Amino acid sequence: MIKRIFIALIVIACAQLASASTAEISSGVIAGKRNGHIDQYLGVPYAAPPIGELRWRAPQPVASWPGIRPALAPASPCAQIGSFYSTDNEASFDKPYGSEDCLYLNIWAPVSPKGLLPVLVFFHGGSGIVGDSAHPLYNGQRLAEEANAVVVTANYRLGVFGSLQSPSLHTGDPAEDSGSYFLLDMIRVLDWLSENCSAFGCDSKAITISGQSAGAVSVLALLRSPLAKGKFQGAISFSGLPFSASTETALKRTDKLLSNLSSQNLEFAVDSEGVDRFAANATTQMRDYLYQLSTRDLLNASGFGLSPAIVADGTVLSSVETPDKPVAKALSRVPLMIGGTKDEMTTLTPIKGFGRSAEKIWPLVNGEPRDKTINQQLGFLSGLVRDVRVGFANLFVKKRVKKYSKQYAKQLPAVYLYQFAWANYPEPWRSEMGAFHGLDIPFIFGNFIDDHKIYMRFAWTEENKKQREALHSEIVQNIYGFLRKTMPSNRDADNYLWEPLNGRENIHIWK
């Protein structure tokens, strides 16, 4: 009996050894897992934990570790209020979720590549207040294999932890004093890749940054960042627009947080006049007060989250004449793919009576059977009002995408404009949502998850599977070409006809 157990343990150990993969990076050796033709490394630290005295500081280098560090499971998402954009665990919805110790990334790298491979870095969406780089929709296994590229997804600080402007937090470092910690996190990801690409068979001179929604907004911000210049060679914006804010506007956002903290009767409560005074003066008392607050205190005072300010501070982001006016400005002269879904605002427009509660919205989007559309549930008048609001919002977004794309085209070597228009899924979701915001993500990564309650499960049927797979293949081929040739060609078609914007409106439709 003992002999059989011993043999079984040896067999298990050999199986684990065969599926293990190691890589030596700047801070030590990590052990991941080999899945078929892809080496997977999850929860790899790219910066020191931004906790304690590092809470509102630029990301610091990772301390080295002895031996081999496991990289088999994702790390915690960044601190936020829980939602279905981060997890399918209903128990976490509308409550503090995640951790401040969250600066980790995930890597999927093809095994034994022939030459160095390009890199696709992806920053998740979620309004800059929610999201998780390890969400199942962002699993990079399939994309890495089909695009023959190293795929990286990375966490970055969210909400009040990723963006907070106050003189009381200044250190004398212009980058830190910007308060744009989330952008500094992303720039640190690029630096980390430059240091460690060789460990994964990737080319540090062939990095394309990409993101969806808030992640795409950040990609467009990095285009105008002096600190990011030269650190990437291409950019993809999935449903993003350029934003900008002045320091004064950002300070008002801080005032709002302080007012909320005051209303919660937390220690160091101040009146509205005091809020302005403390936000405008760097005081040791204010700094100490902010640092002693718990993660939960800060999340609760943020409501459902304080979206980050894209501050034109002159260091992290280049200065502009009118900082509170969005501007399509680029310092990094790299090719850009930009676009969005056909019906972006159907799921972004608030639903009367639902607010921003993930718990209330969850039954509408997780695939649970229902017969009525949202508008039918709201009633005729409220439904009509919502239709009008969604229509105008969609029109506004489409016009802005075209406007800014043309502005980028005047500055960059090539700009490729697309629209995602697929919406061949069941009722009642199809009528009310169409090609909604985020529907393109499963088609990019190839993750059509339908075996449990999860966001977008309602869209996947056996009837549309063949069509879905064909569109996924087309998108991956476009990405394959963009990563290598800086143009979204098909894998083996040198004469592919997706032309860049050249004074004409060339929009490629994914449908």
Q: Could you give the residue numbers annotated as active site?
A: 213, 344, 437
- What is the rounded CA–CA span in Å between residue 415 and residue 394? 22
- What is the rounded CA–CA span in Å between residue 310 and residue 466? 41
- What is the rounded CA–CA span in Å between residue 325 and residue 473? 38
Scanning the structure block, which residue is given the tokens 């936020």? Answer: 80
Nearest to 353 by CA among 370, 368, 374, 371: 374
- What is the rounded CA–CA span in Å between residue 397 and residue 342? 10
Q: Which residues, at least 6 apart from 384, have a Cβ–Cβ distance to it below 8 Å?
A: 375
Scanning the structure block, which residue is given the tokens 């907004």? Answer: 217
- What is the rounded CA–CA span in Å between residue 498 and residue 476? 14
Nearest to 140 by CA among 476, 501, 488: 476
| 47 token code pair | 């910066």
DSSP 8-class letter at 259: H
Nearest to 79 by CA among 47, 51, 102, 113: 102
Q: φ, ψ for residue 61 (rounded to 5)?
A: -60, 155
Nearest to 210 by CA among 126, 129, 154: 154
* DSSP per-residue string spanning 309-325: P-B--SSSS---SSTTS
- What is the rounded CA–CA span in Å between residue 103 and residue 21? 22
Single-letter amino acid, residue 439:
L
Cβ distance 37 to 145 under 8 Å? yes
Judged on CB neighbours under 10 Å (0-12, 13-18, 19+), 95 is middle
Question: Is the bond leading into 242 cis (omega within 30 degrees of zero)?
Answer: no
| 236 token code pair | 């993809």
Q: How far is CA 326 from CA 220, 404, 407, in A?
A: 11, 9, 12
Q: How far is CA 382 from CA 215, 360, 389, in A?
A: 32, 18, 11
The upper half-sphere exposure of residue 78, i.e. CA atoms within 13 Å in the direction of its Cβ, equals 31
Single-letter amino acid, residue 491:
R
| SS3 assignment, position 461 | coil
